[in-house]
Structure 1
Amino acid sequence: MKTISTTILFFLTGFLSIHAQQTTYSQEDSTVTISELKRVYRYITRANVEEKTLLKIGIRPNSLSPFSEDDRNSHFGLNLEMVVEHKIHPSVSILVGIDYVPLYNSIKGYTSSPQAGSKRTLRFISHDVKARFGTRYYYAMSRRIRDGKTANNFSGNYVGLNVSRPVLYQFTRYDYDSQTGEPTASKHKTPLFRLDQPSLELNWGLQRRLWRLGYIDVSAGPRITFIGESSLPVNNEKYTTFSFQFNALIGLGW
């Protein structure tokens, strides 16, 4: 009886030992796989590369405008940002640059009325340039640096404050001469003092580096625009407008 008990105990001990080894190996394999994924993510986002200054050139398409009831009006273009972002602290940066917005508009209508007039299409190509200054606070950066998860770079979540003002607005109108039917083009440029429309924008966003020369920047938040008297017709009072902004840019960063 004693021999049988000893034999059973021997087999149980061996089985538990083998099972424990298999469990340990399975956990180690899982840990290695997660570690590799984290390493690849840090490589893609340059999480361990220290950067103090980043020159960014990014783009995003403009959305199409709604169609009118009786004809299709199109409105599309690009938002192009050219910004220098510089770290003054691992968690704080300042931004200086311009936003350039080329737009194409096509408006279909009538020369006088739908009954008496003939249809025509007006086309506009405009160029809008805004000077921009801002600051960002990467609120998790200091903790991640302490934990050894990142370095002093530009990949992180942030809250930001931006101030912008138009510095250039001009457009070319393409029409036709109603007398001869010949196409015409006329250029118009708004003087700088008439572009008195500064904006203040508060946003939350995330920015990630993509390998050595890329980045993505997604942000959203409220914007308030102050319409000054010099940009309005005579006898009109200045006012403010509120809007909600969403931006998703992808571009190059050096």
Structure 2
Amino acid sequence: LTFHFNHFKFPNMSVKYYISIFFLQAMHISLTAQKDTSFQTIRQESGEYQAPVIETPSDRLFKTRIPSKWMFKMNLAQTFNFRRNDLQTANTLSGTPLGIGAEYKISPAFSVGAYYQMLLGYQPASEFLSKGGWLYSASVAVEGRWYHDMKKRIKEGRSANNFGGRYLGLEGTWSNNNQLTDNWDDKRVALRYGLQQRFLRNGYFDISIGAGVSQGSPILKRSTYFSTDQRVSVGLAAFLPKFRNTAQNGNLCDVLNCQDEQYNMWKVNVFDVVAFRSNGIVYNLELRPNVAYEQKLGRSPFSVELAVDAVFNTGKYRYYYLLDQKEYSNRITSATWDATGELRWYYNMRKRMLNGKSGNNLSGTFFGLQLNRHNLIKSAVNYETDNAGSLDGSLVAGDYWTTNLVWGIQQRILERGFIQFKIGGGSTFGGNNYRYEGAGKPLTKIGRQNELNVVGELKVGFAF
């Protein structure tokens, strides 16, 4: 077979041109094929294995894995914990009933806060006070806190950046004390060490001890003095930014033991069991141990509780006697015990059980009918000034009975915890008061009139 290029009539240069184009195209295809079919090694570097974070019931109770930048808090510990004290003067160094504040995190380990606290009450006229009136004291404080183990807990995955944990604080306080007979300012700088924890969605508690230097009290007749105190705060709190964690905002039954069957419970209150405060000369120490036992009546929503508590109070006080405008001081010691029986009705227990929200236990809201016996063990005054008779004739609450109708809520927490709050009112009857007759003289027993009273009680502690 013979081809004759003359039939195509291609010029000689054209044939060479097209042959060159053919070889260039072939080379391009070859190079492209070589590139596309080359083997590429792909290497993936595996990171360090991290164990999954396991959320515990205590994480859901204290919201330890929810971050927050702002914390707004209201201390209600003393506001709703009414107490009857044998000696009115023993309330001189009691805690401030109402406090509000805000705390801001400037870094995981450090925060700054500002607080306002107020005490308001009315003092009626008496033989010692010719004219009654309102008493109030207010204080403003700023504080810097160092949560010393926060970074470590965040690194170990045990906490988010929030306001829960142990801290060391530096606090500056200015207080204005407005009394009917005097008005003065106190300034204080103190170191505090404490523990703060969030509680469920909108609760918190803060327990701390402090020691510092105060200045300004006219009663002590010196400008600067050393002071110590213990502080317990329990109340409501709000946190920003709002963070929704489905796991932590879900079912809390493993925290609150919703479905447990429980028919009896021992309770040991540890909230405010010990309270102390001192400024070198004036001091107050109070011990309030409390134990209770509650027993369900069969499988019904009714139960009975027996609670026994004791109060020991000792302190040294200085104040002014209005009749002669002189200062005097004394030491006061008192001891009492109370026994309280209470019949409770957990009024929505059956409904909660039918809806699958609760087992037959001792958690929930209730109405209670109380019968209380108050007994005075000891009440003594040791005078330390010349005008020692200033307390002669004053009365001391002695032995009496009280009946109260209360509303309350009780909740079992985790395996060994409980919280309880009650508020109500009733009447005292029977028994006797006692009257001071002078230094070294026995108290005189006198009759006691029936009185209306309002009661409130907050307990936090261990349950068995």
1:81-96 paired onto structure 2 within 5 Å:
81-88=290-297, 89-96=299-306
1:84-121 CA-to-partner distances (Å, cap 9, x unmatched) read 00011341110113122222344324699756x6x442
Structure-2 residue corresponding to 1:154: 362
Supply the distance in 2 between the matched residues of 1:177 and 1:195 (Cα, whole angstroms).
Answer: 26
Count of paired positions:
196
Structure-1 residue corresponding to 2:416: 213
| CA shift for structure 1 position 35 | 8.2
Read off the aligned partner of 1:134 and give its amino acid letter.
E
- The structure with higher relative contact order (CA 8 Å, sep 6+) is 1
Supply the distance in 1 between the matched residues of 2:407 and 2:445 (Cα, whole angstroms).
Answer: 38
Asked whether the 8 Å contact 1:74–1:106 carries over to 2, the reply is yes
- Pick from 406, 425, 433 the counterpart of residue 222 of structure 1: 425
Supply the distance in 2 between the matched residues of 1:122 and 1:59 (Cα, whole angstroms).
Answer: 30
Asked whether the 8 Å contact 1:61–1:76 carries over to 2, the reply is no
1:118-197 paired onto structure 2 within 5 Å:
119-176=327-384, 195-197=398-400
Asked whether the 8 Å contact 1:84–1:96 carries over to 2, the reply is yes
1:193-216 CA-to-partner distances (Å, cap 9, x unmatched) read x95410001110111111111111
Supply the distance in 2 between the matched residues of 1:112 and 1:159 (Cα, whole angstroms).
Answer: 45
Q: Evaluate the alpha carbon distance shift between residue 87 and residue 235 of structure 1 in structure 2; reply closer, same or farther with a 3 A threshold.
A: closer
| CA shift for structure 1 position 246 | 1.4
Gaps spanning 5+ residues in structure 2: where?
1-244, 276-280, 387-395, 436-443
Supply the distance in 2 between the matched residues of 1:45 and 1:250 (Cα, whole angstroms).
Answer: 14
TM-score by length of 1: 0.64
Supply the distance in 1 between the matched residues of 2:446 and 2:330 (Cα, whole angstroms).
Answer: 28
Structure-1 residue corresponding to 2:263: 52
Asked whether the 8 Å contact 2:368–2:407 carries over to 1, the reply is yes
Supply the distance in 2 between the matched residues of 1:113 and 1:195 (Cα, whole angstroms).
Answer: 27
Asked whether the 8 Å contact 2:289–2:310 carries over to 1, the reply is yes
Asked whether the 8 Å contact 1:53–1:85 carries over to 2, the reply is yes
Does 2:317 correspond to 1:107?
A: yes
| SS of the residue 2:428 aligns to | strand
| CA shift for structure 1 position 170 | 1.4
| CA shift for structure 1 position 73 | 8.1
TM-score by length of 2: 0.37
Does 2:456 correspond to 1:249?
A: no
| SS of the residue 2:254 aligns to | helix
Percent of aligned positions with the same letter in both sequences? 21
| SS of the residue 1:198 aligns to | strand
Structure-2 residue corresponding to 1:199: 402
| CA shift for structure 1 position 36 | 6.8
Asked whether the 8 Å contact 2:372–2:401 carries over to 1, the reply is yes
Read off the aligned partner of 2:459 and give its amino acid letter.
L
Q: Evaluate the alpha carbon distance shift between residue 73 and residue 177 of structure 1 in structure 2; reply closer, same or farther with a 3 A threshold.
A: closer
| CA shift for structure 1 position 58 | 1.0
Q: Evaluate the alpha carbon distance shift between residue 238 and residue 125 of structure 1 in structure 2; reply closer, same or farther with a 3 A threshold.
A: closer
Structure-2 residue corresponding to 1:8: none
Read off the aligned partner of 1:84 and give its amino acid letter.
Y
1:23-38 paired onto structure 2 within 5 Å:
37-38=249-250
| SS of the residue 2:261 aligns to | coil
Supply the distance in 2 between the matched residues of 1:113 and 1:169 (Cα, whole angstroms).
Answer: 31
Read off the aligned partner of 2:259 and give its amino acid letter.
N
| CA shift for structure 1 position 164 | 0.8
Name the larger-Rg structure.
2
| Higher mean C-alpha deviation, range 211-220 or range 234-243 | 234-243
Supply the distance in 1 between the matched residues of 2:351 and 2:247 (Cα, whole angstroms).
Answer: 20
Read off the aligned partner of 2:425 and give its amino acid letter.
P
Gaps spanning 5+ residues in structure 1: where?
1-32, 65-71, 179-189
| SS of the residue 1:216 aligns to | strand
Supply the distance in 2 between the matched residues of 1:44 and 1:226 (Cα, whole angstroms).
Answer: 42
